[in-house]
Amino acid sequence: MRRVLVLALLALALPIAAWADPINFTNEFGSISISTAGISSIGSQMETWGLAKATPGHALGFVSFSTGALLTGSLQYGGTFSATGSSFDVMGVGKWAAKLTGVAGCGTGCAIFTGAFVGPIDWTLTSAPGKKNLTYVLSGDIAGQLWNGRNVHGFTTQDIYTVNGQLTQGIGHISMGKSTLTVPEPGTLGLLGTGLVGIAGIFRRKMMGT
């Protein structure tokens, strides 16, 4: 019974050990264009990436994204956008990005994450309807590759506002974006799986010997 319990605990630990620490990053400022054809960002500054933080007046890089067309609801009251034809990209700049990616000369930018939205993208009105100054949250699952070729997936929320009736002109602004990328660890998964098989074999031989 004790042997079975040990194996069960190791099996439960397997999916946990298969994932590295998530990468969290934030962005702010920048404008977006809003229409039923989709929403796209322009020059949103990346303020943090993991433990790295931009110094005042500077940015670690830029976050750009675009959605597919509006599927349900409306621009004014909220709805969902398609992920078809979408994108979500992160560029790093300067010495910090060069050190992270190992690519010399990231003055004009180095790709840190290249991906897209996965599944429907929520467009949620968070202020009272009918106000001149409206706030929204754009949120959805994202997936793609890091600079080192690792496949990752995650989630992003982008807080957006429009002022003085700019929504009718298709103009919005990003107040803050928060994103998380989860990095799988196939090496850890393989090692732990091999270990479990080995332990199971040892227990089996001991049980057969008794």
How would you write 20-32 as a 3-class SS string?
A: CCCEEEEEECCEE
Which range of residues forms the domain containing residue 10? 1-19+185-210
Place of tokens 């089996």: 204
Assess whether 118 and 203 both reside in one domain: no
pLDDT for res 156: 98
Q: What percent of the chain has pLDDT over 90?
A: 66
Pairing of strands 110-125, 87-92: antiparallel
Give the DSSP letter of residue 18.
T
Assess whether 8 and 80 both reside in one domain: no
Q: Residue 115: how many CB atoms within 10 A of its CB?
A: 22
pLDDT for res 53: 96
pLDDT for res 61: 95
Assess whether 48 and 113 both reside in one domain: yes
What is the domain count for the chain? 2
Give the pLDDT confidence of 6-17 residue by residue, as tens digits. 444 444 444 444
Assess whether 109 and 84 both reside in one domain: yes
Give the DSSP letter of residue 62.
E
Give the pLDDT confidence of 122-131 residue by residue, as tens digits. 999 999 987 8
Assess whether 165 and 192 both reside in one domain: no
pLDDT for res 209: 55
11: enclosing H helix or E strand: helix 2-17
Assess whether 5 and 87 both reside in one domain: no
Distance CA 17, CA 6 (A): 16
Assess whether 203 and 110 both reside in one domain: no
| pLDDT higher at 200 or 171 | 171
Give the pLDDT confidence of 87-100 residue by residue, as tens digits. 999 999 998 999 99
Distance CA 4, CA 197 (A): 13
- Contact status, residue 61 vs residue 50, Cβ threshold 8 Å: no
What are the phi and psi torsion angles at 128 (to 5°)? -65, 135
pLDDT for res 19: 52
Q: Is the pTM of this model over 0.85?
A: no
Assess whether 189 and 118 both reside in one domain: no
Give the pLDDT confidence of 166-198 residue by residue, as tens digits. 999 999 999 999 999 998 865 544 444 444 445
Give the pLDDT confidence of 42-84 residue by residue, as tens digits. 889 999 999 999 999 899 999 999 999 999 999 999 999 999 9
pLDDT for res 15: 47
- Contact status, residue 66 vs residue 44, Cβ threshold 8 Å: no
